[in-house]
Amino acid sequence: MRIKIGDKKIFSDSIKMLLDVDINIERLNAITFDSRNVEKGDVFIALLGENSDGHNFIQECVDRGASLIINEKIKADNIVEVKSSKKILIKLASLYRSQMSCRVIGITGSNGKTTTKELLAHVLNGSYRISFTKGNYNSTIGMPMSLFAIKKSDEIFIAEIGTNKKGEIEYLSDIAKPDMALITNISESHLSNLKDLNGVFEEKINLFKALSHEGIAFINMDDKFLSILKKETQYNHITFGFNGDYDFNATIKEDSNSLVINGYKVIIPNSSNLHLYNILSAFSICTTLGVEIKDFNQKLNLFEMPSGRGDLIHINEFIIVNDSYNANYGSVISGLRKLSGMYANHRKLVVIGDMLELGEDEKKIHKNLYEHINHNKFYRTYLYGSLMHELFLEAKRQKTENDIRYYENQEELINELQTTLKPKDILYIKGSRGMKMENIIKGVA
């Protein structure tokens, strides 16, 4: 991860204030914690990670021309020793953020936060001067690093805020200081640390709690957890959902690729494969910020899905729905439902890998997918991973008539797909990061 500094003067002043170190603005380019990305003039922060220690690459960064190195072990010319590199990063990000006047839109949720962030950035760019967290850099390191991309001239910064354990949303929200906030939904994610859905809700809601008195919370009224927040009075709120009395009320137009939101027709491009809530939540925020419907539709038509989050890959005369980036219970159900409504009269093959980090109820949660797979009646469903074996056994117990198969070896699964896929087939691929489902895409390409 390498972030180009948005305002070199503010950044260098923050370095001086925090570390009492002068840094040459003319040489300053970017900041990174990955030694492989260091270029001449960059600031390198040596962090101790799970798999590597940035301190082992300090000399390499010196040789590459780093203008400043922040670390915990060495003190020398252009090398500053601190007690905690991570704490300095957080203090530096907070100080930098405090000197920026742009509005911050914070986004979190169990599913769809990266796609919604990318869609928002795509639509708002042009109407506003914006910057935003790149890729999936939403962690306790990635999100603060992304703040350094903000320019003094920016009007909006879109901050994707992630979590996998209690307290991280509050921690990151305190740094980002959002003026507007969206929680996409509440679903079974990171239950190994957050315990249950109530734990997920209590963690995510910290984004709304971080809003100022003038801040605005965008509430998904179709989510049973989030809908109760309409009664909260500690922050302003704007509601959205389908078929209800909301600030932004959407209906699905029958036999059409469009939504009607507050009487306005929103065209859904077939190529984008966007979920309806991505569109509705983005529309709610963009309209609140003054974006015209014609501009929203125009930008929506040109939007490209982030890789691995439902983007369509056309190859070998069949289509891959690449939803391989990650998976939890809610996102799998959503993906299957979306697939069911796509491309009538085409064979649809489903490949699902284990959903990880679901805690002590992980086997039960996997079994619960049975009804959703059985109901949709896909041409064939392939299950991969030890936890998916629980779902396979449940399907056998239920004596399903659907063709559901289990593979414990990825190569065998790829070989089976290679001999099965035909022109015009739709292949949907989903699974947690640890299952490396992208290898299946490479195998059949």
Q: Which of 415, 429, 421, 362 is nearest to 389 (CA)?
A: 362
Mean pLDDT of 102-112: 94
- Percentage of the chain lying above the pLDDT 70 cut: 98
Q: Which of 20, 166, 141 is nearest to 90 (CA)?
A: 141
Q: Which of 36, 57, 32, 56 is nearest to 45 (CA)?
A: 32
Which of 21-25, 253-257, 380-384, 401-405 is predicted most confidently? 380-384
- Percentage of the chain lying above the pLDDT 90 cut: 72
Q: What average pLDDT does the chain have?
A: 92
The band of 186, judged by pLDDT with boundaries at 50, 70 and 90, is very high
- Convert the pLDDT of each residue in 387-436 to its tens digit: 999 999 999 999 988 999 999 999 999 999 999 999 999 999 999 989 99
pLDDT at 349: 96
Q: Look at phi and psi of residue 195 and say left if phi exceeds 0, alpha if psi is from -120 to 50, else beta.
A: left
pLDDT at 85: 95
pLDDT at 225: 92
β-strands 103-108, 130-132 pairing: unpaired
pLDDT at 342: 82
pLDDT at 400: 87
β-strands 30-32, 2-4 pairing: antiparallel
Find tokens 């742009």 and name the residue: 102
Task: State the fold for domain 100-301.
Answer: UDP-N-acetylmuramoyl-L-alanine:D-glutamate ligase (3.40.1190)
pLDDT at 196: 87
pLDDT at 428: 95
Q: Which of 310, 335, 247, 260 is nearest to 119 (CA)?
A: 310
The band of 340, judged by pLDDT with boundaries at 50, 70 and 90, is confident
Mean pLDDT of 12-19: 95
Task: State the fold for domain 311-444.
Answer: Protein-Tyrosine Phosphatase; Chain A (3.90.190)
Lowest-confidence pick of 71-85, 248-262, 364-378: 248-262
pLDDT at 220: 96
pLDDT at 256: 65
Q: Residue 190 pLDDT more than 80?
A: no
CA distance 50 to 39: 24
Mean pLDDT of 39-55: 91
pLDDT at 165: 81
Rounded to 5°, the CA angle 96-99-101 comes to 125
Q: Could you tell me the CATH superfamily of domain 2-88?
A: MurE/MurF, N-terminal domain (3.40.1390.10)
Mean pLDDT of 284-310: 94
Q: Residue 107 pLDDT more than 90?
A: yes
pLDDT at 50: 76
Every domain range in the chain assigned CATH 3.90.190.20 = 311-444
Every domain range in the chain assigned CATH 3.40.1390.10 = 2-88
The band of 135, judged by pLDDT with boundaries at 50, 70 and 90, is confident
CA distance 132 to 103: 11
SS3 352: strand
Mean pLDDT of 318-344: 89
Mean pLDDT of 294-306: 93
Lowest-confidence pick of 59-63, 169-173, 324-328: 324-328
Q: Residue 254 pLDDT more than 70?
A: no
Greatest pairwise CA separation for the chain in angstroms: 71
Containing 429, the helix (H) or strand (E) segment is: strand 426-430
- Convert the pLDDT of each residue in 139-167 to its tens digit: 888 899 999 999 999 999 999 998 878 88
CA distance 186 to 280: 16
pLDDT at 61: 96
Rounded to 5°, the CA angle 359-361-362 comes to 70
